[in-house]
Amino acid sequence: MPPNEVRLGRFHLDLNGRQLARDGVSIPLSSRALDILCVLAAAQGEVVSKDELMSKVWPGLVVDENTIRVHVSALRKALGEGESGDPHVMTVPGRGYRLIGANALRSTADGGRDSSPRVETSEKPFIAVLPFQNMSGDPEQEYFVDGMVDEIVTGLSRIKWLSVISRNSTFIYKNKPAAIKEVVDTLGVRYVLEGGVRKSGNRVRITAQLIDGKTDAHLWAEQYERVLEDVFALQDEITMCVIGAIEPSLWRAEIDRIKRQRPTNLNAYDLLLRSVPYVLGHVPKESGPAIPLLQEALKLQPDYAAAHAFLGRCLHHRYARAGLREEDRIAAIRHSRAAVMHGSDDATALATAAHIIALTEHDTMTALKLFDRALELSNSNVFALSFSAVTLGWMGRADLAVERAERALRLSPFDFYNFRVHHALALVHFFNRRYADAVEAAQRAVHANPSFSTAYAVLAAALLRGGHVAEAKAAARAVLEYEPAFAIRGVRQVAGQLEPAVFGPLAQAWREIGLPE
C-alpha cells in the first residue's frame, strides 16, 4: 500500500496534495520534478528504473534521458544531503534512482492523488523561443534566421525575473512541427515564442507570436516589415513586446536592460553569424574556418566585442591542441582582453573571454569577476554558466561549479554543448573521490560529444580509480584516437595550472594508465 505522506529529514512530502515543504514552508519545484519525487517516494526505497520514470512522469511521450537528469538535479539541490552525507536521491548506476531516508507516515487504501493545485513550474517563469521559419525559400538565409532567434534569446535572458531555455535546446524542433503542449511538457516552460523571417534584398519581414502554454492562449502576435538596417531595433522591439505581454507592469529599467550595444557594421555582423557554426567546435579543424571570417569582421569593425571573443576562442583551440605555439597563446589573450574592453554589456563575449583568460593566461581572479559580471547581465546565459562551471571545476571550487552546471542543464537540457557541463561535473566528482559519479558524468560528456578527448581522459582516470582497469585502458585508447597529440604536459600547460590539487591526481592516474607525459 503506497504512502500518502513521506518524511525526509526536515522535509515533508504530501503525495495526495502534491506539496513538498520544509519546516512547514512550501518548497517550489517544477511539476515534473515533483512527479519524479512522488514516484520515488511511492517505491518506498526500491530502485525505480529510468524507463519506469519516463512511463509514469511523461506517459505517451518520447523524452530524452537528459530531461530526467535535469529534474533529478533540481530535486537534489532542493533536498540537499541526508544524515549520511549522501544526497536523498541516489543514482544506482545502470539501474535507475532510489530515494534514501524516506519514512512513510500513513497510507490509504486507494493511494491515489487528489485534485489539489500543483506547484508552479518555477519561481521564475520559463520561456522557450522556437526556431523561426525561413520564409524566404533560400537555404542560404538559414544562418540569418537562426541569428535572429539568437538575438531575441539574448535580449530575453537579460531580464532577471525570466528564465530562458537556450537556443541549442529549442533547436531540436528546427524544421519539424511541434505541438505547443509537447514543447511545454518537454522543456518545462510556461511561455513559447514562435515566428518566421523573410529576408529579401535590403528588407526583412518578421512574424512572431507568444503563446501561454498553461492556457494555450495567444498573448501577443505581430508582423513587421523593415529595412535591413533596422534589424537590431526590430529585435529589441519584439523582445520588449514579449516581455510586456508576460509582465504588463514592465519598468523602464527593464526596457533599458533589453537594449545593448550592437555592431554598427551589418557586414561585420553577417560575417560573425556565418562563423558561429565553426566557433562552436572545440578542436582546431572544426573552429579553424571561423578564423578568417572573424578576422575580416574585425577589419570592418575593430571594436566588435563578440568577434574578438570568438576569435580568441578559436586561437585558444589552436594553441591548446595544435602545438602550444606561443604566438597563438598571445593572440588568444589579446583578443579576449579586447572583447572585455569593448563588450562590457555582452554576457556571451565576457564569458567566452573569461574562459580563455583563465585557461590561457591563468588570471583566475579576473576570469571569476568576468563570469560574475556576465551572469549579472544575463542569469540565463548558458555560455556563462557552462564555461564558468568548467573553469570552477578545474579550480576545485566544487559547490559553485555544480550549482552553475545544474542551472545550465535546466536551461539547456538538449544542448550539444552540455558535454562541457558534464565534463565539469566529472572533474568535481573525481576531485571529491566520488569515482562512480565521475564515471557517470564523464560518460555523459563523451556521449554528448564523442570526439571530446579530455572527457575520455577524465573517464579513464575515474574508471581506473574505481577498479575498472580494462575499461580505463579502453578509454585511454579513445583519448589518443581522437587526439593523437594528447600529452599530460599539454593539459598541465593549460587547465592544469589552475589548481594542482585537481590536476595532480588526474595526471597520476593518466601516467598509471599509460597516457604519454
- Per-residue pLDDT, 108: 36
For 30, 58, 113, 135, 190, the CA distances from 182, given in Å and listed in that order, are: 16, 10, 23, 24, 12
Mean pLDDT of the chain: 82
Side chain identity, residue 252: R
- Return the HEC string of 375-419: HHHCCCCHHHHHHHHHHHHHHCCHHHHHHHHHHHHHHCCCCCCHH
Residue range 2-25, pLDDT digits in tens: 456 777 767 777 766 667 877 666
pTM over 0.75: no
Q: CA 245 to CA 254: how far, in whole Å?
A: 13
C-alpha cell at 61: 511521450
- Helix 305-321 vs helix 347-356: angle between axes, to the nearest 10 degrees? 30
Assigned CATH topology for domain 261-379: 1.25.40
Distance CA 229, CA 231 (A): 6
- Residue 342, pLDDT score: 92
Which CATH fold topology does 3-107 show?
Answer: Arc Repressor Mutant, subunit A (1.10.10)
Instruction: Give the CATH superfamily of 126-258.
Output: ABC-type transport auxiliary lipoprotein component (3.40.50.10610)
Same fold, 261-379 and 398-517: yes
- DSSP-assigned states of every residue in 354-370: HHHIIIII--HHHHHHH
Q: φ, ψ for residue 200 (rounded to 5)?
A: -140, 115
Distance CA 372, CA 385 (A): 10
Within 10 angstroms of residue 416's Cβ, the number of other Cβ atoms is 13
Report the amino acid identity of residue 338: A
How many other C-beta atoms are found inside a 10 Å radius of the C-beta of residue 50? Answer: 16
- Domain positions in the chain are 3-107, 126-258, 261-379, 398-517
Contact between 35 and 57 (Cβ < 8 Å): yes
Cell numbers found for residue 305: 566585442
Spell out the per-residue pLDDT of the chain, length 517, in tens.
345 677 776 777 776 666 787 766 667 777 777 888 888 887 777 788 888 888 888 876 666 676 777 778 778 777 776 544 556 787 766 677 878 766 654 433 333 333 222 223 344 688 889 988 888 877 878 888 888 888 888 888 888 788 888 888 888 888 877 788 888 888 888 889 988 888 888 888 888 888 888 888 888 888 888 888 888 888 888 888 887 777 766 555 566 666 677 788 888 888 888 888 888 777 778 888 999 999 999 999 999 999 999 999 999 988 888 888 999 999 999 999 999 999 888 899 999 999 999 999 999 999 999 999 999 888 888 889 999 999 999 999 888 888 888 888 888 887 777 888 999 999 999 999 989 889 989 988 888 888 888 899 999 999 999 999 999 999 999 889 888 888 888 888 888 888 999 999 999 999 999 999 8
**pLDDT per residue as tens digits for the range 215-235:** 888 888 888 888 888 888 888
| C-beta separation of 130 from 141 below 8 A | no
41 C-beta neighbours (distance < 10 Å), count:
22
- Sort 356 into a burial class: Cβ within 10 Å, 0-12 / 13-18 / 19+: buried
Report the share of the chain in percent with pLDDT over 70. Answer: 87
C-alpha grid cell, residue 11: 522535509
Q: Determine contact, residues 392/400, Cβ cutoff 8 Å.
A: yes
| The predicted structure's pLDDT at residue 110 | 36
CATH class belonging to 398-517: mainly alpha
CA distances from 169 to 64, 187, 319, 414, 418 (A): 11, 9, 29, 4, 10
- H, E, C per residue of 411-474: HCCCCCCHHHHHHHHHHHHHHCCCHHHHHHHHHHHHHHCCCCHHHHHHHHHHHHHCCCHHHHHH
114 burial level (CB within 10 Å; 0-12, 13-18, 19+):
exposed
CA 507 from chain centre, in angstroms, equals 28
Residues written for the chain: 517
